[in-house]
Structure 1
Amino acid sequence: MDATPGTNPLAPAPQGTRTVADVVTPELVAQLTKGVAGSGRTANHTPFTGEKLADLPESTPEDVGHAYEQARSAQAVWAQRPIRERAAVLLRFHDLVLERQAEVLDLIQLETGKARLHAHEEIQAVAVAARHYGRKAASYLKPKRHAGAMPTLTRVTELRHPRGVIGQIAPWNYPLELSVGDAIPAFVAGNAVVMKPDTETALTALWARDLLIEAGLPAEVFQVVIGDGPVVGPEVVRHADYVSFTGSTRTGREVAQGAAARLVGVSLELGGKNAMLVLQDADIEKAAAGAVRACFSSAGQLCISIERLYVHESIADAFVKRFAARTRAMRLGTSLAYGADMGSLVGERQLETVTRHVEEAVAKGAKVLAGGVARPDIGPYFYEPTILEGVEAPMAVCAEETFGPVVSVYRFKDEDEAVELANSTAYGLNSSVWTQDGRRGREVASRLRTGTVNVNEGYASAYGSVQSPMGGMKDSGLGRRHGSEGILKYTEAQTIAQQRVLPMAPALGMDDEKYAAFMSRSLRVMKALRLR
């Protein structure tokens, strides 16, 4: 536990033999960018080395408008197709993703710098979402009968109509799952999508578009625009019938303001400062292994990863010893193959934030238990998975989202204190509870103010349970993905009420006073009959 920065350098993982040139060929780039509106040129780069991956079309505001025109024309036809046909596209896409996963795993790694196993999490998430909405969309969207104002006399049906064209702004950290994974329910609900992926991870999103077209989605229904966020992003919002955004809380507020000005709906998954609680009766070995996954998957560049770790004081020493040992044993690498435990940060900005948070905390008295140093010997943006202790409120790492492989360990005396500490943040996206008592874990979980809580897992259990909603409370966002909410948000509800025999007005010779008395008696009877 007395490790200082650099005293336990992590071993690089074995390297693969494939190169950028082997994966990102001119033929592949030409295929993926076909049909992308863009009169300019831009480029993306790999965090592993900093070298350029591909030249890409750069969209202008006019290009965005043209993409929406094409999408609107195609959407009207797409929405008329039976839902079973739209759902069949998703199920074919599910199979294609699994069959051709090696292609996109290479792209995800090259564009994000993450380890291959962490890239495979995106394969899993997209396949599960495609299967779920491919099987359940018809049930979610079917017309529903409701009780009417007057029993038997009022027949009510709820219909669900597609909103039209969804404007989607996707982030760089999970370029497959947080692009096409969010678009899947929009498509099966009958919408078109105009997506702006992050430029640095655009190839992955374009690969997913190409595969969906192969699965049967009309090409015009899925438009991609590429360009600088402050230029292209507002244009995506300006034309959309509904906006789906995943990214920072600061940018999310701007997106929400733009959507509100046009009176269109918006869903936002934003930042987090997620907490993990290790209770007194937790299995220390399992909790330590789980903490490694929860804190350092995708180098901590995951909205739902853990950045605050609260451990009961009676087991804290034993837990930290095991957690730090597992962390120091992790292998970092750039291989396009399985074997590395963690990859790179995505770029200079993330490296600067991580470095600033760690160095400031140490300067103000925090202690490094593992990691704490950059690893330019492996790649320009590599940083060792880092554990801090002694973090206090004046330090930026205490409250600000780091979005990197850094976790702060705190000790608590009782569960009430732990819950209070975990909730003492403006964010409310995800949290984790570790205990050998399932009932106790669920009870503590219910007191945490986060959209998802995992018991004896860091984040994957809740996120992978796609029949249930996933999203944030407080400054972590609005709306939900997954489950019924994840598809119904892309629809407009319409109520059709048919009145039969008697009107909702005086009839059968009643004057106004007699009608009012009749309706009052009827309301009392309906309550007595326990009608809803």
Structure 2
Amino acid sequence: MDTTLQQTDSLLEAIAPAPGEPGREVLDPATGGLVGVAPVHGLAELEAAIAAARAAQPAWAAAGHEARSAALNAAAEAVEANAEELARILSREQGKPLNGPNARFEVGACAAWLRAAAATVLEPETVLEDGTTKAVLHYRPIGVVGAIGPWNWPMMITVWQVAPALRMGNAVVVKPSNYTPLSVLALLRVINQALPEGLVTAVAGDREVGAAITAHPGIGKVMFTGSTATGKAIIRSSAETVKRLTLELGGNDAGIVLPDADPEAIAEGLFWGAFINTGQTCAALKRLYVHEDIYEDVCRALAQYAAAVPMGVGLQEQNLLGPLQNRAQYEIVARLVEAAKASGAEVLLGGNPDEDQPGYFYPTTLVAHIDNANPLVAQEQFGPALPIVKYSTVEEAVEMANGLEVGLGASVWSADRDKAREVASRLEAGTVWINAHGVVHPMVPFGGAKHSGYGLEFGVEGLKHL
């Protein structure tokens, strides 16, 4: 065993349950091998975490912005010092490869977002000063924030939730996904090297713990990234205590390729917009609308690029795509692709998983000549299968893109940026990208429209919500 893997195992041992305490084995979705044992926390551990957070929060808030920023920068340094170990845990547990926009990228983004939160300034704002009246708007911490995270980007989204909450003077109780608890527990163990005791605690419990967080009177706000169905349940559960909420919920992002686009020039961007993290990204491109004049050319260029991107076990350095993280998600993707095939749609690439291969690998799949009402288009597949729909007029494309109840992201692809912006202005989504898809930045506000949630994250606007 090499030194890095030994260090990774050492970190996994540090977060494992003590002898006699309940635990759950976590398996590698690429190989089926054991990654580690995660603790199984319950309501007692949650109550202890909330009590510790409430005790630690007043002093943290009183420390002021400068001291809190220094601690966040120190946390970023700790993440960087442990980056390779964290990336290997993430790759083994979540399945994403080390290289490309994957595990090492995600760990690096954690450090970058911690530093961005530390550097973002939110000053008191004078909203009225007319010689008679002066009104100044101040932003105060809420107290204790509950952060409920997903399994697709478990480390990065945890930092998206935790870093700004800490920057504003809050304490945080984190509930990681049951699919990826080790990644979050390891990350927070590293980050906590730079933070006061009790300020941030992970409670690796089941749905009972998540439900208790959303209803607990000691938690003033919940941040959640996940499905729309779970988001609605959180809204209902939080109503009695009138919690503040930031919800980043399901999406089924549309991309529109205008007839003046260059198929060869946009193929790489389209591919990574759709297939980053093997399609397991909330704001990934999940349905592509291409004008009939260049439809065949776009299909051909995209298929050629996609066929060359290697998929396999994440710890193998050459791979850029990995498995689906869990069996349930694999079955969703397989079901939707089979429905598309049964409808007569044309599979340009993939669609033929090797059932004898270990792990939850579903091949990169492109499906053309598919009806807009097909389940692969109308339902969020959250995996490596992209439907490509032909359209005749821009009005038709916009209508189809806006036709679903979700609206997290969207994109427009064109050689004419002014024309692309005009089309973008008609799309119902929280973020619309031009000639890209899913690109986020710590200073650019991010949030959903329609059933894709509400509240904003990132930058100054994100701090205002905490």
Q: Distance in 1 between matches of 2:127 and 2:77?
A: 37
C-alpha change, 1:20 and 1:40, in structure 2 (3 Å) is: farther
Residue 135 of structure 1 is aligned with which of 119, 141, 149?
Answer: 119
Any idea what SS the aligned residue of 1:433 has?
strand
Any idea what SS the aligned residue of 2:138 has?
strand
Q: Distance in 2 between matches of 1:353 and 1:286?
A: 32
Instruction: Give deviations 1:18-59, integer Å, cap 9, x for gaps.
Output: 69974652x32342358x9x9532232210112222222211
* Aligned amino acid, residue 422 of structure 1: A
Q: Which residue of 1 aligns with 2:47?
A: 65
Q: Which residue of 2 aligns with 1:231?
A: 208
Q: Is the 8 A contact 1:33 1:206 kept in 2?
A: no
Q: Distance in 2 between matches of 1:210 and 1:41?
A: 18
Verify: 1:390 aligned to 2:372, yes or no.
no
Any idea what SS the aligned residue of 1:409 has?
strand
* Aligned amino acid, residue 470 of structure 1: F
Any idea what SS the aligned residue of 2:140 has?
strand
C-alpha change, 1:225 and 1:176, in structure 2 (3 Å) is: same
Any idea what SS the aligned residue of 1:309 has?
strand
Instruction: Give deviations 1:58-81, integer Å, cap 9, x for gaps.
Output: 111122111101110011111110
* Aligned amino acid, residue 65 of structure 2: I
Residue 228 of structure 2 is aligned with which of 249, 261, 264?
Answer: 249
In structure 1, runs of 5+ residues without a counterpart are 1-16, 491-532
Q: Which residue of 1 aligns with 2:278?
A: 299
1:210: Cα distance to partner?
2.0
C-alpha change, 1:173 and 1:69, in structure 2 (3 Å) is: same
* Higher RCO structure (Cα 8 Å, ≥6 apart): 1
C-alpha change, 1:395 and 1:152, in structure 2 (3 Å) is: same
Q: Which residue of 2 aligns with 1:260?
A: 239
C-alpha change, 1:433 and 1:393, in structure 2 (3 Å) is: closer
Residue 308 of structure 2 is aligned with which of 318, 329, 338?
Answer: 329
Any idea what SS the aligned residue of 1:282 has?
coil
* Aligned amino acid, residue 357 of structure 1: L
C-alpha change, 1:411 and 1:374, in structure 2 (3 Å) is: same
Alignment of 1:87-106 (within 5 A): 87-106=69-88
Any idea what SS the aligned residue of 2:156 has?
coil
Any idea what SS the aligned residue of 1:79 has?
helix
Q: Which residue of 1 aligns with 2:197?
A: 219
1:328: Cα distance to partner?
2.0
Verify: 1:120 aligned to 2:101, yes or no.
no
C-alpha change, 1:408 and 1:202, in structure 2 (3 Å) is: same
Verify: 1:416 aligned to 2:395, yes or no.
yes
Q: Is the 8 A contact 2:146 2:173 kept in 1?
A: yes
Alignment of 1:335-350 (within 5 A): 335-350=314-329
Q: Is the 8 A contact 2:4 2:84 kept in 1?
A: no
Residue 172 of structure 2 is aligned with which of 193, 196, 199?
Answer: 193
C-alpha change, 1:30 and 1:335, in structure 2 (3 Å) is: closer
Q: Which residue of 1 aligns with 2:460?
A: 484
Residue 344 of structure 2 is aligned with which of 365, 370, 378?
Answer: 365
C-alpha change, 1:367 and 1:32, in structure 2 (3 Å) is: same
Q: Which residue of 2 aligns with 1:31?
A: 14
Any idea what SS the aligned residue of 1:193 has?
strand
Q: Which structure has the larger Rg? A: 1
Q: Distance in 1 between matches of 2:270 and 2:317?
A: 20
C-alpha change, 1:207 and 1:485, in structure 2 (3 Å) is: same
What's the Cα RMSD here?
Answer: 2.1
1:331: Cα distance to partner?
1.2
Q: Is the 8 A contact 2:252 2:406 kept in 1?
A: yes
Verify: 1:468 aligned to 2:450, yes or no.
no
Q: Which moved more, 1:41-50 or 1:152-161?
A: 152-161
Q: Distance in 2 between matches of 1:130 and 1:56?
A: 25
Q: Which moved more, 1:394-403 or 1:370-379?
A: 370-379
In structure 2, runs of 5+ residues without a counterpart are none
Q: Is the 8 A contact 1:277 1:418 kept in 2?
A: yes
Q: Is the 8 A contact 1:167 1:193 kept in 2?
A: yes
Instruction: Give deviations 1:438-489, integer Å, cap 9, x for gaps.
Output: 22222221211111111111212xx12x222111101111111112221111
Q: Is the 8 A contact 2:26 2:36 kept in 1?
A: yes
Q: Distance in 1 between matches of 2:2 and 2:344?
A: 44
Q: Which residue of 2 aligns with 1:449?
A: 428
* Aligned amino acid, residue 224 of structure 1: A
Q: Is the 8 A contact 2:278 2:383 kept in 1?
A: yes
Q: Which residue of 2 aligns with 1:498?
A: none
Residue 42 of structure 1 is aligned with which of 17, 21, 24?
Answer: 24
In the superposition, the TM-score normalised over structure 1's length comes to 0.83
C-alpha change, 1:31 and 1:176, in structure 2 (3 Å) is: same
Alignment of 1:488-507 (within 5 A): 488-490=464-466
Residue 171 of structure 1 is aligned with which of 140, 150, 167?
Answer: 150
